[in-house]
């Protein structure tokens, strides 16, 4: 198990998702954060807040940081990664659109399901990533569609802030985001990384 001091999230990082939204590709990574109080693990419930009417899943690859790092190069990134986990960047889409910035929409308790055991010894740059809602595939892509690759993201974020052991970077979502309802079961599957399943409860 690992205990992040912070979760740094990347917005709009899949070419196929940007195309779906008809958005231009970002020239620098767009980052935001979720507090550690959003974290749940396998089989824990995502709580549907009363303040939203449009709760979305976002399947993402999570990167767990191994060492305290600041100002490293992209070539030094891999040796400072402890492993990879499945992540779900749960988002209150209506609040995100209303607020114009994302803290409220992304920060409710239980809004960051993360796999508890980081997978090691894999190349993160070409993995199948999938989201299933009640067993139906809703998102399906490959991490090779990422605009900014994992090692680049680690170095980019460590050029801004010190990353501590256990900190997590979630690396953006592919096309097909959509709503969840109380009673739904949502699962993120990433090739070589594992499966993360959670129920949604009111
Ligand atoms: Mg996201």
List the CATH number of the domain containing 20. Answer: 3.90.850.10
* Ligand 1 centre distance from Cα of residue 173 (Å): 5
* Ligand 1 centre distance from Cα of residue 58 (Å): 6
- Cα separation of 113 and 198, whole Å? 8
Q: How confident is the model at residue 90, as a pLDDT?
A: 98
- Mean pLDDT computed over 159-168: 98
pLDDT at 124 over 90: yes
Flag whether 72 is in a domain. yes
Flag whether 179 is in a domain. yes
Q: Is the pTM of this model over 0.75?
A: yes
Flag whether 1 is in a domain. no
Return the ∠ at Cα 153 (arms to 92 and 161), rounded to 5°.
85
Flag whether 55 is in a domain. yes
- Cα separation of 103 and 27, whole Å? 22
Please list the residues that pair with 128 across neighbouring strands: 142
Count the domains in the chain: 1
Flag whether 196 is in a domain. yes
Q: How confident is the model at residue 173, as a pLDDT?
A: 97
pLDDT at 181 over 90: yes
Flag whether 173 is in a domain. yes
pLDDT at 20 over 90: no
* Ligand 1 centre distance from Cα of residue 32 (Å): 9
Q: How many residues does the chain have?
A: 202
Residue reference for tokens 């899949």: 14
Flag whether 2 is in a domain. no
- Mean pLDDT computed over 29-51: 97
- Mean pLDDT computed over 24-28: 92
Nearest CA among 115, 116, 113, 62 for reference residue 84? 62
* Ligand 1 centre distance from Cα of residue 73 (Å): 25
* Ligand 1 centre distance from Cα of residue 13 (Å): 9
Q: How confident is the model at residue 21, as a pLDDT?
A: 84
- Mean pLDDT computed over 72-81: 98
Chain Cα centroid distance, residue 201: 20
The DSSP code for 199 is: E
Q: How confident is the model at residue 23, as a pLDDT?
A: 85
* Ligand 1 centre distance from Cα of residue 159 (Å): 21
Which residues fall within 8 angstroms of residue 178, CB to CB, at 6 or more apart? 56, 57, 133, 138
Q: How confident is the model at residue 19, as a pLDDT?
A: 86
Flag whether 104 is in a domain. yes
The residue range of the domain holding 109 is 7-201
Q: How confident is the model at residue 144 (pLDDT cuts 50, 70, 90)?
A: very high
* Ligand 1 centre distance from Cα of residue 27 (Å): 17
Burial of 43 (0-12, 13-18, 19+ CB in 10 A): exposed
- Mean pLDDT computed over 143-148: 97
Nearest CA among 58, 49, 76, 50 for reference residue 152? 76
């Amino acid at each position: 198990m690992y205990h992040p001091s912070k979760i740094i999230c990347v917005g709009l990082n899949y070419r196929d998702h940007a195309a779906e939204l008809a958005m231009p590709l970002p020239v620098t990574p767009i980052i935001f954060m979720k507090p550690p109080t959003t974290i749940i693990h396998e089989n824990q419930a995502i709580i549907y807040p009363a303040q939203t009417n449009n709760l979305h899943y976002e399947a993402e690859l999570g990167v767990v940081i191994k060492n305290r790092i600041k100002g490293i190069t992209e070539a030094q990134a891999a040796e400072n990664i402890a492993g990879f986990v499945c992540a779900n960047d749960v988002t209150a889409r209506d609040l995100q659109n209303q607020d114009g910035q994302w803290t409220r929409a992304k920060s409710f308790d239980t809004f960051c399901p993360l796999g508890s055991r980081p997978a090691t010894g894999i190349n993160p740059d070409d993995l199948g990533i999938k989201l299933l809602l009640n067993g139906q595939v809703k998102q399906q892509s490959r991490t090779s569609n990422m605009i900014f690759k994992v090692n680049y993201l680690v170095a980019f974020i460590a050029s801004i802030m010190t990353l501590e052991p256990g900190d997590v970077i979630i690396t953006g979502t592919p096309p097909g985001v959509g709503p969840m309802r109380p009673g739904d079961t949502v699962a993120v599957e990433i090739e070589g990384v594992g499966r993360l399943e959670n129920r949604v409860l009111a």
